[in-house]
Structures are given as C-alpha cells and as structure tokens.
C-alpha cells in the first residue's frame, strides 16, 4: 500500500515538475546530500522490506476457516541477535560518517571574511567589515569562505540558508557563528528557522552570490562608509573607554591591545578566552568578568550600547589584537 502511494506521489511530483532536491551551492552541500541520499536509501530499503514481508504473510497465512489454529513457532535467538546487531552496525557506520562530516563542516577555514549579523523581530541586519550595511540581503563573493558572527537583539532566531545546508540559532546575549563557501553565483533563500513571533515567516531574505569582480564593484558602489573597526574606534572614544583601557601604567583597566582570542585569568579563579561573548559581557555586566589586579569600578553600559554598536566595538577590539600581532613580528 505504502509503496504504491510513494510511487504514486513520486509520479505526481514528477508530473508537476516539483523539485525533489534543493539547490546545492556551497562546498558542504554535496557531502550532506550524499549522506541524505544514503539515509533515504536505507529508509526505503527497510520500509519496502517490512511492507513486503507483511503483505506476503498477510496473503500466505490468511485465516482459511474460522476455527483454524496457528502452529507454534519458537523465538529464534539467531534472528533476535541478527536484527539487533545488523541495525546496530548500520547505526555505528552512520554515526561515524555523519559525525566526521559534521565536525569537518563546523570548522571554518582560517582566512574567512567575517560578516556580522544581528537578528531582530522581524528582520536581518548584516554588516560587512568594510562598513556597508544590508537588511535582509547579503552580498558575498563566490568561492571565498565567509564566516558569520551572529547575535540577536531580542528573541531566539535562526539563520538558515537551505542552498548552503547551513543553519544556526541566533541567540540574545551571546554570539554564534557559521561559515560557508558558495560554489555558484545566484540568488538563494535566507530563512529564519526558529519561531520568533508574529511575523516569523516574513523574516526572510536573499543571499546574492556574485563573481569577485561584481562583488568588488558592489562594495565600491555603495555609499562611502567607514569600516566597522573605525566606527568602533569612534564609539570607543565617544564612550570614554580609552580613559581606563587606553594602556599605560596609570590605567585603571586592562589595555585591550592584543587581548582578543587570548585566555585570561578572572578574579573568580577561572580562565576564559576573550571572545565576542566575553567582550559583550564586559561591557554590559562588567563585574561578571572582573580581572584580578584591577578594581571593580567599571560601570555598566546596559541600555547605552545597542547590538549594532556592540559589534562595532568588538570589531575595534579585534583590530587592536591584530595590530599587536603584526607589530610583534
């Protein structure tokens, strides 16, 4: 019955020219699709196997007279072991395969371009490090790895590009990241895949994958803007951060140069790596990431720094880190 229905559905689908596969436009898409295909094959095989056996038994062993009795059959240890061990082995293979792929897919290449994303009810706000901002649209060059650093201004969202097979929740109060490397130029869907309220289904957009030349032209074509780090530097002086974090012996707070990406001892005895989330915490709830040798005198900037400015400040702190490293060489 099921087999018939499935083949029926398939032929209807073909007749209506429904695509059965989404566009595959990133370096990881093929690997995911291969695994999907194998899983579909396993599903089809066992479904057809079970259905065929049931149908065969249904016909062969149908009751032929009302008082017919069935002969006793004994539980076979061999069969029980076989259908415990074989599925277990299949599961082990699938686990190893999918986990290896997942670990590989989740590691961004080192030389990724970094783009910052803020999700808010119900739009995507994106900013390139060079400065240009976009709403519900993202322009990226083909063939270049792109890393997204994402946070939410309100509820949980989820950044999902089906054609790239990437998806990650975007949470308030912390930074998550994904990366992708487009393999084809074109226009692809961007969806919010975590229910976020009334207009969740309108929190969608487009990813424009362009040739490198088109992309440079696009970058140059927009309004002239300062880079994110430059914008962050302005905020840094506007909020007076440099008074304490400017470096020098009299400074009341740690110098931020070269701090990003390094482990630091906190006054509660724990060691934490200075990353986006830690900088975010340091600005909004300074006492939670107090460093030893400094007084707990930093005020909170809660309500004064919005998520966009936060990202610019983070970009600035990160740029300090890279200068330090270059000058150290």
Q: Residue 71, interface with another protein (CB under 8 A)?
A: yes
Q: Residue 43, interface with another protein (CB under 8 A)?
A: yes
CB 296 within 8 A of CB 266: no
User: Of 134, 154, 214, 324, which one interacts with another protein (CB under 8 A)?
Assistant: 154
Task: Please tell me the distance from the alpha carbon of residue 143 to that of residue 192, in angstroms, as a whole number.
Answer: 24
Minimum Å gap between C-beta 95 and another protein is: 5
- Residue 98 neighbours by CB distance under 10 Å: 15
Task: Please tell me the distance from the alpha carbon of residue 2 to that of residue 30, in angstroms, as a whole number.
Answer: 29
Query: Given the rule CB under 8 A, which of 17-25, 126-134, 239-247, 292-300 is the region that contacts another protein?
Result: 17-25
Q: Residue 127, interface with another protein (CB under 8 A)?
A: no
Paired with 159 in beta bridges are 168, 192
User: Of 7, 109, 197, 226, which one interacts with another protein (CB under 8 A)?
Assistant: 197
Minimum Å gap between C-beta 224 and another protein is: 35
Taking the alpha carbons at both ends of the chain, their separation in whole angstroms is 71
Comparing CB distances to another protein, the nearer of 24 and 229 is 24
Q: Residue 272, interface with another protein (CB under 8 A)?
A: no
Minimum Å gap between C-beta 208 and another protein is: 16
Q: Residue 299, interface with another protein (CB under 8 A)?
A: no
Task: List, in order, residues 6 or more apart from 9 with CB less than 8 Å away.
Answer: none
User: Of 11, 13, 30, 265, which one interacts with another protein (CB under 8 A)?
Assistant: 13
CB 130 within 8 A of CB 139: no
Minimum Å gap between C-beta 179 and another protein is: 12
Q: Residue 69, interface with another protein (CB under 8 A)?
A: yes
- Considering only CA atoms, which of 195, 197, 208 is closest in space to residue 161? 208
Task: Please tell me the distance from the alpha carbon of residue 262 to that of residue 275, in angstroms, as a whole number.
Answer: 8
Minimum Å gap between C-beta 198 and another protein is: 5
In the region spanning residues 273 to 292, those forming contacts with another protein, defined by CB under 8 A, are 285
Task: Please tell me the distance from the alpha carbon of residue 156 to that of residue 188, in angstroms, as a whole number.
Answer: 22
Helix (H, G, I), strand (E, B) or coil at 314: helix
User: Of 62, 224, 295, 329, which one interacts with another protein (CB under 8 A)?
Assistant: 62
In the region spanning residues 92 to 121, those forming contacts with another protein, defined by CB under 8 A, are 92, 94-95, 97-99, 101-103, 105-106, 121
Task: List, in order, residues 6 or more apart from 126 with CB less than 8 Å away.
Answer: 115, 116, 117, 118, 133, 134, 135, 137, 138
Minimum Å gap between C-beta 136 and another protein is: 14
Comparing CB distances to another protein, the nearer of 34 and 325 is 34
Query: Given the rule CB under 8 A, which of 126-134, 167-175, 228-236, 310-318 is the region that contacts another protein?
Result: 167-175
In the region spanning residues 208 to 227, those forming contacts with another protein, defined by CB under 8 A, are none
Minimum Å gap between C-beta 171 and another protein is: 6
State how far the alpha carbon of 212 is from the alpha carbons of 133, 140, 185, 226, in Å: 19, 8, 10, 21
User: From its phi and psi, is residue 17 left (phi > 0), alpha (psi between -120 and 50) or beta?
Assistant: left
Query: Given the rule CB under 8 A, which of 42-50, 250-258, 308-316, 318-326 is the region that contacts another protein?
Result: 42-50
Comparing CB distances to another protein, the nearer of 34 and 262 is 34
Q: Residue 297, interface with another protein (CB under 8 A)?
A: no
Task: Please tell me the distance from the alpha carbon of residue 135 to that of residue 223, in angstroms, as a whole number.
Answer: 15
Query: Given the rule CB under 8 A, which of 141-149, 195-203, 254-262, 313-321 is the region that contacts another protein?
Result: 195-203
Sheet of 176-180: strands edge to edge? 133-135, 123-127, 113-120, 146-152, 176-180
């Amino acid at each position: 019955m099921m087999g018939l229905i499935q083949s029926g559905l398939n032929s209807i689908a073909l007749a209506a020219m429904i695509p059965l596969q989404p566009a595959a436009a990133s370096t990881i898409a093929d690997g995911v699709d291969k695994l999907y295909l194998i899983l579909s094959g396993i599903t089809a095989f066992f479904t057809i196997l079970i259905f065929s056996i049931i149908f065969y038994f249904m016909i062969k062993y149908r009751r032929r007279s009302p008082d017919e009795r069935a002969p006793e059959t004994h539980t076979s240890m061999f069969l029980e072991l076989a259908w415990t061990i074989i599925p277990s082995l299949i599961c082990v293979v699938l686990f190893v395969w999918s986990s290896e792929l997942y670990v590989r897919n989740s590691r961004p290449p080192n030389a990724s371009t970094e783009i910052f994303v803020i999700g808010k009810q119900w739009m995507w706000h994106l900013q390139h490090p060079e400065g240009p901002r976009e709403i519900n649209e993202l322009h990226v060059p083909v063939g270049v790895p792109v890393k997204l650093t994402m946070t939410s201004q309100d509820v949980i969202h989820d950044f999902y590009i089906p054609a790239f097979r990437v998806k990650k929740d975007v949470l308030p109060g912390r930074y998550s990241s994904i990366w992708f490397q487009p393999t084809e130029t074109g226009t692809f869907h961007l969806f919010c895949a975590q229910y976020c309220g009334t207009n969740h289904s309108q929190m969608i957009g487009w990813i424009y994958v362009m040739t490198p030349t088109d992309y440079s032209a696009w970058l140059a074509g927009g309004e002239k803007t300062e880079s994110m780090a430059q914008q962050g530097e302005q905020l840094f002086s506007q909020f007076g951060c440099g008074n304490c974090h400017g470096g020098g012996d009299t400074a009341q707070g740690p110098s931020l140069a070269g701090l990003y990406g390094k482990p630091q001892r906190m006054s509660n005895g724990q060691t934490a790596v200075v990353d986006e989330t830690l900088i975010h915490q340091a600005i909004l709830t300074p006492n939670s990431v107090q460093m030893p040798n400094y007084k707990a005198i930093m005020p909170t900037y809660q309500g004064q720094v919005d998520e966009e400015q936060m990202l610019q400040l983070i970009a600035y702190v990160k740029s300090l880190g890279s200068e330090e490293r270059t000058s150290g060489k």
